[in-house]
């Protein structure tokens, strides 16, 4: 009877150790997942900032070229090409919705 009780205690102790080990691994994996997701979120924010910067620079260039066109300094073929680039720029801008403030 004592041998069976001792065996049962050893099995229960081992089961508790295994459960504790599994719990630690799950917690560590959850923490790693949160860290990875936060890293991805930061990378996305950086990329979005870079994209917005490029779109803003392109928009400024288009505005300057439109002002030049309005002054009558460019041939119509160039004006048409600028209009096409402006449309393309708008398509790019539409890919990322404007941020709400």
Q: Which domain holds residue 26?
A: 2-95
Asked, for residue 101, whether it belongs to a domain, the answer is: no
- Does a structural domain hold residue 83? yes
Judge whether 86 lies within some domain: yes
| 85 lies in some domain | yes
pLDDT above 60 (res 38): yes
Query: 24: exposed, middle or buried (C-beta count within 10 Å: 0-12, 13-18, 19+)?
Result: exposed
Cα 29 to Cα 20, 21, 32: the distances in Å are 14, 12, 5
Mean pLDDT calculated for residue range 54-80 = 82
100 lies in some domain: no
Domain count, the chain: 1
pLDDT tens, position by position, 16-33: 777 877 777 777 787 888
Indicate whether 63 belongs to any domain.
Answer: yes
Provide the whole-model pTM.
0.48
Cα 4 versus chain centre, distance: 57
């Amino acid at each position: 009877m004592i041998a069976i009780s001792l065996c049962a205690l050893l099995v229960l102790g081992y089961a508790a150790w295994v459960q504790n080990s599994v719990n630690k691994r799950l917690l560590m994996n959850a923490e790693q997942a949160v860290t990875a997701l936060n890293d991805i979120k930061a990378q996305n924010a950086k990329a979005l900032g870079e994209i917005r910067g490029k779109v803003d620079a392109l928009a400024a260039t288009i505005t300057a070229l439109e002002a030049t066109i309005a002054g009558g300094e460019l041939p119509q073929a160039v004006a048409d090409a600028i209009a096409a680039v402006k449309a393309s720029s708008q398509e790019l801008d539409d890919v990322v919705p404007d941020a709400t403030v």
